[in-house]
C-alpha cells in the first residue's frame, strides 16, 4: 500500500554555469499527494521538467517503481505512468473535447494504419472502448455535456479540468500538476481540491503538485517539500512546514 512510487535522489540540473536545481531529493509513495513549494524561481518547474523527460538531469537518479527513468524520452516516461500538466493550459484548442481525450489514448489503440482505414471489427471495438473511457473521465470532471465543444472555447476552469481528465485517460500512476490552481477563482480552486483528493482516494494514484496557493497545498498534501534557489530547504507534513523558521525566512525574508 505505501510502497515507494517515485524516488528522486540528488537531482541536479545545470545550464552552463547556472545551477538551477541542486541535489533535490523527493519521495512519493503510492496514493500520496506530495507538494513542492518554494519562492518564484526556486527551480520547481525545472524539477518537473527533469522528471518528465523534458530535460535530461545533469546528475542524480529518478526511479519510478524502482526503474531508472532519468534520460528517457518524454513519451517513454509518460508510457511508464508519469504524466504532467503545465503552468499554462496546453490543450489541443482546435480539437473537440472528446478528440482531446481520444488523442491521449492513441497508444492504447494499438492498431495499425490499415485496420484504421478498413475499420476492422477489432478497430471498432478499441475505438468504442476509448470512447467509453473518455466519456467516463469527462463525467468525473463534469465536462461530459461539453464533449463536442472545441476545447479552446471552454471556460478557463473547465480547460484546467479537461487537462487533468486528459492525463487520466492515459492511465498514469503518478500525475504531476504544475500550478493547477493558477488563475482559478476560489470556487474553482475548491472543486480542484476535491478532484485531486478524489483522484488519490478513489482512483488510487499519486499526485505531485507544484502550487502557490498555500491553503490548497496545506489542506491536501500528505507531504511537502520546500525548495529555495534550487536547493532543498525542508520537508515534512503541513504542520511541520508551517512552523519551520527556515521556510518562513525563505518566503518572507529575514528581518
Partner 1 sequence: MSEFSLYLLQQLINGLTIGSTYALIAIGYTMVYGIIGMINFAHGEIYMIGSYVTFIVIAGLLGMGMVSLPIILIIALVVAMFIASTYGWTIERVAYRPLRGSNRLIPLISAIGMSIFLQNFVVLSQGSRDVALPPQITGGWNFGDPSVFEVSLSYMQVLIFIITFISMTLLTLFISRSRMGRACRACSEDLGMTNLLGIDTNKIIALTFIVGAALAAIAGLLLGLYYGVVNPFVGFIAGLKAFTAAVLGGIGSIPGAVLGGLILGVTEAMTSAFFPSEYKDVVSFGLLVLILLFRPSGLLGKPEVEKV
Residues that bind partner 1 (CB under 8 A): 52, 73-75, 78-79, 83-84, 90, 92-95, 99, 102-104, 106-107, 109, 111, 113, 116-117, 127, 166, 170
Residue 101 or residue 220: which is nearer to partner 1 going by CB? Answer: 101
Query: CA Rg, the chain, in Å?
Result: 19
The closest alpha carbon to 30, from 65, 66, 1, belongs to 1
In the complex, least distance from residue 103 CB atom to partner 1, rounded to whole angstroms: 4
Residue 9 or residue 120: which is nearer to partner 1 going by CB? Answer: 120
Angle at 25 between CA 23 and CA 28, to 5 degrees: 160
Helices (H) and strands (E) counted in the chain, each on its own, are: 10, 10
In the complex, least distance from residue 72 CB atom to partner 1, rounded to whole angstroms: 12
Look up residue 10 and give its three cell numbers: 540528488
In the complex, least distance from residue 76 CB atom to partner 1, rounded to whole angstroms: 8
In the complex, least distance from residue 64 CB atom to partner 1, rounded to whole angstroms: 14
Look up residue 168 and give its three cell numbers: 487520466
In the complex, least distance from residue 116 CB atom to partner 1, rounded to whole angstroms: 5
In the complex, least distance from residue 15 CB atom to partner 1, rounded to whole angstroms: 16
Residue 91 or residue 199: which is nearer to partner 1 going by CB? Answer: 91
CA distance linking residue 179 with residue 164, whole number of Å: 12
Q: Provide the Cα torsion 140, 142, 144, 150; round to 10°.
A: -120
The closest alpha carbon to 177, from 9, 33, 59, belongs to 33
Residue 117 or residue 252: which is nearer to partner 1 going by CB? Answer: 117
Tally Cβ neighbours within 10 Å of residue 68: 10
Cβ contact 101:134 at 8 Å: yes
Residue 112 or residue 187: which is nearer to partner 1 going by CB? Answer: 112
Cβ contact 38:15 at 8 Å: no
Residue 44 or residue 166: which is nearer to partner 1 going by CB? Answer: 166
Amino acid at each position: 500500500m505505501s510502497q515507494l512510487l517515485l524516488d528522486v535522489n540528488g537531482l541536479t540540473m545545470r545550464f552552463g554555469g547556472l545551477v538551477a536545481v541542486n541535489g533535490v531529493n523527493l519521495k512519493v509513495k503510492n496514493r500520496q499527494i506530495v507538494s513542492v513549494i518554494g519562492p518564484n524561481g526556486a527551480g520547481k518547474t525545472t524539477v518537473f521538467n527533469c522528471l518528465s523527460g523534458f530535460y535530461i538531469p545533469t546528475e542524480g537518479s529518478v526511479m519510478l517503481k524502482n526503474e531508472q527513468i532519468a534520460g528517457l524520452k518524454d513519451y517513454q516516461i509518460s508510457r511508464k505512468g508519469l504524466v504532467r500538466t503545465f503552468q499554462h493550459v496546453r490543450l489541443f484548442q482546435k480539437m473537440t473535447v472528446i478528440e482531446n481525450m481520444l488523442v491521449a489514448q492513441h497508444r492504447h489503440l494499438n492498431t495499425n494504419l490499415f485496420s484504421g482505414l478498413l475499420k476492422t471489427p477489432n478497430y471498432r471495438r478499441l475505438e468504442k472502448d476509448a470512447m467509453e473511457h473518455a466519456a467516463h473521465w469527462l463525467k468525473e470532471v463534469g465536462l461530459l455535456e461539453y464533449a463536442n465543444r472545441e476545447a479552446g472555447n471552454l471556460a478557463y476552469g473547465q480547460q484546467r479540468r479537461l487537462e487533468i481528465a486528459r492525463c487520466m485517460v492515459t492511465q498514469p500512476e503518478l500525475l504531476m500538476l504544475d500550478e493547477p490552481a493558477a488563475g482559478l477563482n476560489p470556487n474553482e480552486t475548491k472543486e480542484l481540491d476535491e478532484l485531486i483528493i478524489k483522484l488519490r482516494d478513489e482512483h488510487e494514484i499519486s499526485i505531485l503538485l507544484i502550487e502557490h496557493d498555500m491553503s490548497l497545498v496545506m489542506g491536501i498534501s500528505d507531504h511537502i517539500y520546500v525548495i529555495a534557489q534550487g536547493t532543498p530547504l525542508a520537508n515534512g507534513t503541513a504542520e511541520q512546514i508551517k512552523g519551520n523558521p527556515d521556510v518562513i525566512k525563505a518566503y518572507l525574508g529575514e528581518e
